[in-house]
Structure 1
Amino acid sequence: MSATAKVRNSSARVVIDGGGLVTLSGGGKRRILYMNTCDQAQQWTTSHCDDQEQPQLTVQNLTLADGNATGETVDGGGGGAMFVRGGRVKVVNSRFVRNRCDATGPDLGGAAIRVLDQSRDLPVYIVSSTFGGAPGQGGVCSNGGALSSIGVSWVVLNSVMTYNRAIGNGANPARGGTPGGGSGGAVYTDGNRFTVRIAGSIVTDNQAKEGGGAVFFVSNDRTGTMSIEGSTLRRNPSAGFETAGFPGIFFLGARKPSVSSSTLT
């Protein structure tokens, strides 16, 4: 792609369907897809841009490769393949490979997808999708080698997240003398009340330079919850810190993560 595709906020419903045959590439130079209801350049359509129902974006049967959001600064940057703020977004049966965003920064992230604000705080759905999938194919960013968000809930179903890396240095808040970042090898989530559900999924061989080789989850007011169901989380090293008893996960929330019919090693 020669330019980032941008969703106009006047659109009610946008479906991008590759039919399993299409790859959109950022060529290692640019973000692939952008939707932001609070960006006036894409047209303001309500007085409450941070909580509006539309556009409703669906990405399905598509490969998004070599997106790069390095240097993007709107709303904190991140989102090498996709950046979404507002409306609703879901991803179905899609692949994300070799995407990246800035290498440092305490709270930016999402080499594949970065999400801020969703209508009525409803979750982002990731269904039957792959992030990485083989050595050298994963995403790389300061935080969240696959997914990243602030104050957003996620439901990840029957998906694969492997070989993604969080490469920042200094965590969040950044330790003195460091640029910050390095948490959530696959998934980085921050905010107050939000939920993360991972079900029927494989999360392996991701790594974080700081905390949460697989998942970094911090609910600042300790109201957030996390569940893992019928999933495998293995070989997700956290070079700095993780929560005892939950290998590959750093968690601060309302109570311990709920784990059922799953393997964590």
Structure 2
Amino acid sequence: MSRAGVLAATLVAAVVASAAPAMASGFVTGAAHPPQPAMKSARADTVVGTGTPGSCTSRAVVRAVARGGVIAFDCGPEPVTIEMRRTAKVVNTSARVVLDGGGLVTLSGQGQRRILYVNTCDRAQVWTTSHCDDQAEPELVVRRMRFVDGNATGETTDGGGGGAIFVRGGRLRIVDSEFVGNRCDRTGPDLGGGAVRVLDQHRDRPVVVRRSSFVGGRCSNGSALSSIGVSWRIVSSTFTDNRALGRGANPSRPGTPGGGSGGAIYMDGNAIRLELEDSTLTGNHAREGGGAIFFVSNDRSGTLTIRGSRLTDNPSDGFETLPGIFFLGASRTITDSVVR
């Protein structure tokens, strides 16, 4: 963008800004923070491993997730990668499932399978209420974990997507975690979530993402995060080199397979909200709309708030309302941020 374009974008941000004064330069340094150092959980219901890398197996992870509660890992003092031979699935009778890797544990889908699955409306995981799309439990928390090479390609339950993590219902929180090289189907309208796909959250509370990073995701739409009818609060996180590969947008143009929007983040729904704070989105790309963020509120009630963040070099090949952003909703508020 030209210098005049940058100044225009800054002016737009100032016009819609809240009462807080904008920084003179618009740049925010230190927008994202690295994961916290490794430490042991104060309490664990289940410990995966007995002190060696070889004791930390896919089978042990799958069993621990099905059992629920707080899950810690004892795989030795060095970083370890656990190659998942099956998807770990949460049983809906669990009130809370916490995976805490202590900053040392990577779960790998080996490019062959989804890594972690929650679905309160899946009878195979126990149907616990008559309102499965709006229940408080299970609550899933992933903390100080890495998820790499997850692959949901070909998954069809509830529309598929979610190469690393798929969640429908309950509540989700992601803290101090890293997602690298996860993917789902390359084409399709409304199909997304190279790393994380979320449908439904209890009482429409937002999914919380803190101090986490999403790198190299590939999917039709939303190659880091994708959701329908779900809000997000994202703080101190980074999104880099995520690409929406679909073609034809949504609804798909005649003769196209659809998709291609939201290089990093894809959101569709009605009264949805995205709060993005102290975060960086750079080098993401969409073949259609929203190289960084695609946000559509169908009833025009949704809101977008960006604070203290930097969104740069996120090309949209098709359409956008601000550099790297396609927004359709009630209001957008941008403060102390760079969008170019």
Question: TM-score range with shorter-chain normalisation?
Answer: over 0.9
The 2-side partners of 1:168 and 1:116 are apart by 20
Match of 1:141 in 2: 219
String of CA shifts for 1:210-233, please: whole Å, max 9, x gaps. Answer: 000000000000000000000000
Query: Which of 133, 142, 153 in structure 2 is aligned with 1:50?
Result: 133
The 2-side partners of 1:29 and 1:11 are apart by 27
Secondary structure of residue in 2 paired with 1:75: helix
Match of 1:135 in 2: none
The 2-side partners of 1:78 and 1:56 are apart by 20
1:253 aligns to 2:336 (yes or no): no
String of CA shifts for 1:225-253, please: whole Å, max 9, x gaps. Answer: 0000000000000000000xx20000000
1:85 aligns to 2:168 (yes or no): yes
The 1-side partners of 2:85 and 2:140 are apart by 21
The 2-side partners of 1:60 and 1:139 are apart by 20
Whichever structure has more helix as a proportion of its residues is 2
Alignment of structure 1 residues 61-72 onto 2, 5 Å: 61-72=144-155
The alpha carbon displacement at 1:99 in A equals 0.2
String of CA shifts for 1:25-45, please: whole Å, max 9, x gaps. Answer: 000000000000000000011
The 2-side partners of 1:68 and 1:21 are apart by 22
List runs of 5+ in structure 2 lacking aligned partners: 1-83
The 2-side partners of 1:202 and 1:249 are apart by 14
Match of 2:228 in 1: 150
Instruction: Report % sequence identity.
Output: 67
The alpha carbon displacement at 1:145 in A equals 1.1
Match of 1:209 in 2: 287
Letter in 1 for 2:320: E
Secondary structure of residue in 2 paired with 1:241: coil
Structure with higher Rg: it is 2
The 2-side partners of 1:162 and 1:258 are apart by 23
String of CA shifts for 1:66-120, please: whole Å, max 9, x gaps. Answer: 0000000000000000000000000000000000000000101010000000000
The 2-side partners of 1:11 and 1:145 are apart by 29
Query: Which of 17, 22, 27 in structure 1 is aligned with 2:105?
Result: 22
Whichever structure has more strand as a proportion of its residues is 1
The alpha carbon displacement at 1:177 in A equals 0.3
Alignment of structure 1 residues 157-236 onto 2, 5 Å: 157-236=235-314
Secondary structure of residue in 2 paired with 1:41: helix
The 2-side partners of 1:116 and 1:11 are apart by 19
Letter in 2 for 1:260: T
The 1-side partners of 2:100 and 2:150 are apart by 18
Secondary structure of residue in 1 paired with 2:249: coil
Secondary structure of residue in 1 paired with 2:203: helix
The 1-side partners of 2:89 and 2:124 are apart by 10
- After the TM superposition, which parts of structure 1 deviate over 3 Å for at least 4 consecutive aligned residues? none
Aligned-residue CA RMSD in angstroms?
0.4
TM-score, length basis structure 2: 0.75
1:240 aligns to 2:315 (yes or no): no
Letter in 1 for 2:323: P
Alignment of structure 1 residues 82-121 onto 2, 5 Å: 82-121=165-204
